[in-house]
């Protein structure tokens, strides 16, 4: 199983390729500013509105790149991931853009509205205990049973490259930046952003 494996190294060329790959599916989100906040911090702040991305999160970029990176025969077997929210919804929607199955391992206690979104986008849900080891074990079982490709929520080079497209867009839209701030959960967005 590869969920604990480090993703392969990527570079800026991978992010540019991801941007081309997802262009037909992902939105170019706007960059907004606030004069009030600029005055408060005595700096010019730019906000990349990934909340306006499909599924309401940057996660769609990485999931879409992962889905559209797969060779046709591999894609036909579907994809599997574990998620309690946005990555699962993003992978389900991205899989639907290619017409392939998506399996999402959802831990007990996940927020109902997030689970409903995953299901609404067409994924087959599989429940498990709320531990990382239970998630990984369930992913491996589904992968073995279906032949689906694992798309890890953050430790996947295709996901990292896709998520890096948000920072690439921000730089193109806002010009040179002195500082780029990004949230850190699993690390996929900050990794892609740092490379971009």
Cα separation, 196 vs 191, whole angstroms: 9
**Which residues make Cβ contacts (< 8 Å) with residue 122, sequence separation at least 6?**
92, 93, 95, 96, 102
Q: What is the C-alpha to C-alpha distance for residues 168 and 172, in angstroms, rounded to an integer?
A: 6
Which is catalytic among the residues 69, 83, 84, 191?
84
Catalytic residue, chosen from 59, 69, 83, 191, is 59
CA distances from 122 to 2, 8, 88 (A): 25, 29, 10
Annotated catalytic residue 59:
yes
H helices within the chain, ranges in order? 12-22, 35-41, 59-69, 72-76, 86-98, 112-120, 132-146, 157-174, 188-195
Catalytic residues, which ones? 59, 84
């Amino acid at each position: 199983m590869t969920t604990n494996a480090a993703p392969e190294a990527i570079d800026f060329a991978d992010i540019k390729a991801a941007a081309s790959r997802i262009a037909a599916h992902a939105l170019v989100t706007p960059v907004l500013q606030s004069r009030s906040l600029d005055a408060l911090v005595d700096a010019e702040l730019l906000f990349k509105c990934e909340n306006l991305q499909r599924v309401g999160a940057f996660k769609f970029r990485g999931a879409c790149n992962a889905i559209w990176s797969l060779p046709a025969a591999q894609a036909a077997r579907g994809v599997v991931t574990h998620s309690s929210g946005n990555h699962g919804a993003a992978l389900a929607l991205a899989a639907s853009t290619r017409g392939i199955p998506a399996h999402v391992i959802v831990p007990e206690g996940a927020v109902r509205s997030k689970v409903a979104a995953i299901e609404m986008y067409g994924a087959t849900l599989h429940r498990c205990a709320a531990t990382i080891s239970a998630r990984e074990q369930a992913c491996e079982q589904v992968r073995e049973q279906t032949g689906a490709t694992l798309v890890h929520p953050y430790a996947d080079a295709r996901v990292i490259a896709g998520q890096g497209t948000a920072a690439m867009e921000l730089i193109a839209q806002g010009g040179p930046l002195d500082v780029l701030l990004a949230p850190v959960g699993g690390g996929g967005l900050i990794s892609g952003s740092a490379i971009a």
